[in-house]
Structure 1
Amino acid sequence: MERPLADRIRPKEIKDIIGQEHILGEGKILNRIISSGFTPNMIFYGPSGVGKTTLAYIIAEMTNKRFHKLNATTDSTKDIKEVINEINTFMGYKGILLYIDEIHHFPKRTQQILLEFMENGQITLIGSTTENPYFYVFKAILSRATVIEFKPLENRDILLGLERAIDILRGEYTHKTIDFEREALEIISNGSQGDLRRAINVLELMIKTSSKNEVTINKELASQLTQNNFTYDRDGDKHYDIISAFQKSIRGSDPDAALLYLAMLVKAGDLSTIIRRLLVIAAEDIGLAYPQGIAIVKACTDAALQLGFPEAQIPLAEAVILLATAPKSNSAVMGIGSALDALNNYNIGDIPIHLRDGHYKGAKDLGRMEGYKYPHDYPHHYVKQQYMPNSLSNKKFYIPGNNKYEDSIEKYWLEIKNKSK
């Protein structure tokens, strides 16, 4: 059975690894670890197809350790115990490097089995995960391991990998002439979303499925094979990263970036997340700088719910552009946050007696509402009286934002309150 091309061209030395300069460059963390000859327990965290497994193979080779690879989606506790049984045998006398792909899929109990052997150095663990290890990997494992984050490869790295793959394929398929259009490789690179393995698999498919002896990797075929390559997991890191970037872009008044992240959520069909986030943003980030914003956003999101995709994307885009270009104020979220903080940190005491409910028999005997002044009986519907509990009588929770609407409201009330003195 022929191994996949991505496996056949896997680098054998560190110098042949593509990308990851932030960890493999001179003086960077993984470069220092490899150069030292000391291999700690590590968690490789990052997307698929960026070199995590390859580096684990190379590290095992350089340290002369017995290499075992398990996959947490298909292997079990029994497989881990079989590796452990090798510790005191001839095969494992130089030490064992255990690589567990997608380690976050192992339940906590299975991960715990490794702790004793990691602690005494009989097993060096390298776990890899596409999910944030601080959420998904057992804390005791994390405390004994160094987390190394891998990044998606850049287009120039993918292009380099594709050119290397073509050179290897030319050597393997000597009966074929393999040529390529540079634009086609760029299309494959863009469609791979930073995953070199995915790009190489597309390339291999194009060549293997061609019945001609003269194969040209052209942009038309490349476009067909790289459509719909955007990946999205509603329960994974990428989901939370996208909605975080979505809100931050609107808060930062960048409609173009906001539309890009909206497009990601639209392509994923995640209507409920979009609607919830837009309503939150309208209140949290735009707030009183443009009070009508939340009403308009509610109308747009209601329209989106009625329309459904694909038409829903139009009112959603309208809401995003409106919020991104609107003036900003976080006075509401800061105000309620400050009030909640007061509840946690102060003895609030009683509500002033003149504000308490007096609409029941006997309330008057208890002094309820005594001395209350009805604002509508006074000029401008305002009269000065105490509303705060005594312990917080001088406390301010609402600080007006620096925007046209809140400035005008602040000036209005300063004038009214000055007149009532």
Structure 2
Amino acid sequence: MMEQASLFPDPASSQKDTPPRTNTTASENRAAEPLASRLRPRTLDEFVGQEHLLGEGRLLRRCLEEDRVPSLILWGPPGSGKTTLASLIAQLTRAHFVTLSAVAAGVADLRRVTEEARRLRQLRGERTILFIDEIHRLNKAQQDAILPYVEQGLLTLIGATTENPSFEVNAALLSRCRVFTLNPLSEEAVIQLLRRALQDEERGLGRYHLEIEDEALQQIARFSNGDARTALNVLELAAAGAREGRITAETVAEAQQRRALLYDKSGDQHYDTISALHKAIRGSDPDASLYWLARMLEAGEDPLFIARRLIRIATEDVGLADPLALPLCVAAQQAVQFVGLPEADLALAEAVVYLASAPKSNALYLAYGRARDDVHQQRQEAVPLSLRNAPTTLMKQLGYGRDYQYAHDYYHQLEETSDDPSRPPAVQLQEYLPANLQGRRYYEPGLQGNEASIRRWLERRRTSSTQSQPASPAAHSDTHSEGSSSITGESHSSC
């Protein structure tokens, strides 16, 4: 096992000639560390959680035991053990282990690491493992600087990140690393860790002989959201406030103050949670929808981001089944802009419950998708002459607007036959699509809510296209065009 190296000198080491202020022992220095730091595992058996990675016979555990660590990315939420696992690898490996923080590192620091790695390989044939905490903070140039040395095997890279490496790590570098996903600790694992901290007299709180209520343990486990560091910090503070050597649920509640929600407004939690809200609304579950809304708002999500998504849901998943959904969501967005949080939380809640409870239809979403596909995939023919605007005499002479049927002159004929299903409609409205797309059907209304009546009306309208065309009222192309008759004085507002 090699000692852990650091790129950054210890400030204390540069003052070797300055006598220390106090004669503290190593154990006293150790006691001054936070509990979470003191309890870092020294062996694989002490590591709590992540059995899918470090359980007996698992691939990663075998690699560590045989000191054959490949380049890898440790991806998981805060407190899941990424840095702790890297620290454990540093203790177990015989390779030269270098720790680098992506927050403070630059390309020059990476060059120094590679030069040292090359020297150690030439002198002693020694491997170098480079651990980069928060590797997602390295920019593209810094990641590119590491890539050739990882390819050559000069460096074995271990990166730790809370962000999805698919988005935050260069594809070339990611392809040369194995990604291991660490999960939030279960409540049982957190409680196991807390009990160990209370019993360990050397590194934990065992020397204080504290007692703790079962409810207090469970309360810390629930509060921590699977974050071991948070759980140990709460326990340490509760222990400091314990009365008569006993930690109660009330003591824990004081130590917790406000729950720290696991949420990153620019990372996976941001997108996963809004996805959960969208799917709960689509599934017509107002209870789940309210929960996901509250989870986002309480974690500090931008309310306008939520309002924008609700407007999208109103058109994509409710559509014309309930036309009031869209204006309601727009009103909620305006309320957010006008009063802000916390007062606007109920405006968003109202919109969420309305959307979740409304009849659903994705007919509009599918219809626009079909039309868009035809725009991109079919030949784009000219606008039919009958549908063109004809504001000038020349355009009329060229046939613009000729044979256009003014629809309002025909709709009453549909109404006259609407009460007699056996009587076919007498009106045939003209074709409005280009010749190569005539007969195409994009919008197919569903049977939910308002779309049921739309469906019945459109069925009559579309059936009428198979009947004979009635005599056209006189000169609609002229009667309903208000443009100038001059060649140069066009007014294209007339339709």
TM-score (norm. length: structure 1): 0.91
How much has 1:171 moved relative to structure 2? 7.1
- Report the CA distance between 1:174 and its aligned residue: 6.3
For 1:84, the equivalent position in structure 2 comes to: 114
Instruction: Name the CA shift for 1:35/1:254 in 2 (closer, same or farther; >3 Å).
Output: farther
- How far apart, CA to CA, are the structure 2 residues paired with 1:254 and 1:25? 39
Could you tell me which residue of structure 1 aligns to residue 281 of structure 2? 250
Question: Number of matched residues?
Answer: 419
SS in 1 for 2:323: coil
Where does residue 13 of structure 1 map in the other structure? 43
Deviation at 1:415, TM superposition (A): 3.1
1:391 aligns with 2:422: no
TM-score, normalisation: structure 2: 0.78
Task: Please list, as runs of the form range in 1=range in 2, the aligned pairs for 1:4-403 lying within 5 A after superposition.
Answer: 4-25=34-55, 30-31=60-61, 33-34=63-64, 38-87=68-117, 88-89=119-120, 93-168=125-200, 176-208=208-240, 214-226=244-256, 227-267=258-298, 268=300, 270-378=302-410, 379-380=413-414, 383-403=428-448
Distance 1:117 1:416, change over 3 A: closer
Closer, same or farther: CA 114–301 of 1 in aligned 2, 3 Å: closer
Distance (whole Å) between structure 2 residues aligned to residue 152 and residue 389 of structure 1: 57
The 10-residue stretch of structure 1 (138-147 or 26-35) with the greater mean CA deviation from structure 2: 26-35
Are 1:66 and 1:94, in contact at CA under 8 Å, matched by a contact in 2?
yes
Contact 2:197/2:204, CA 8 A, preserved across alignment: no
Secondary structure of the equivalent of 1:394? coil
Instruction: Choose which of 407, 411, 414 in structure 1 pairs with 2:456.
Output: 411
Q: Is 306-315 or 110-119 further displaced after alignment? A: 306-315
Whether the aligned pair in 2 keeps the contact of 1:353 and 1:367 (CA below 8 Å) is yes
Deviates more, 1:402-411 or 1:6-15: 402-411
CA drift at 1:400: 2.1
For 2:460, the aligned partner's letter is E
Q: 1:354 to 1:169 in 2, by over 3 A?
A: farther
CA distance in 1, matches of 2:349, 2:206: 52
Structure 1: 5+ residue stretches without partners: none
Distance 2:161 2:438 in 1: 53
Cα distance in 1 between the residues matched to 2:90 and 2:110: 18
Query: How far apart are the structure 1 equivalents of 2:204 and 2:132?
Result: 32
* Bigger Cα displacement from structure 2, 286-295 vs 52-61: 52-61
Quick one: structure 1 residues 172 and 139, their matched pair in 2 at CA, closer, same or farther if it must change by over 3 Å? closer
State how far apart, in whole Å, the 2-side matches of 1:257 and 1:355 are: 49
CA contact (8 A) 1:373 1:385 kept: yes
Cα pair distance change 1:34/1:335, threshold 3 Å: farther
Alpha-carbon offset, residue 320 of structure 1: 0.9
Q: CA offset at residue 419 of structure 1? A: 5.6
Structure 2 runs not aligned, ≥5 long:
1-28, 416-426, 468-495
Q: Matches of 2:57 and 2:270 in 1, distance apart?
A: 33
Q: Does structure 1 retain, via aligned residues, the 8 Å contact 2:200–2:206?
A: no
For the aligned residues, what is the CA RMSD? 2.5
Deviation at 1:176, TM superposition (A): 2.9
Query: How far, CA to CA, are the matches of 1:191 and 1:142 in structure 2?
Result: 34
1:228-271 CA distances to partner (integer Å, 9 max, x unpaired)? 41143322222122111111111122222211111122211521
Letter in 2 for 1:252: G
Does the CA contact (< 8 Å) of 1:170 and 1:176 recur in 2? no
Task: State the identity as a percent.
Answer: 39
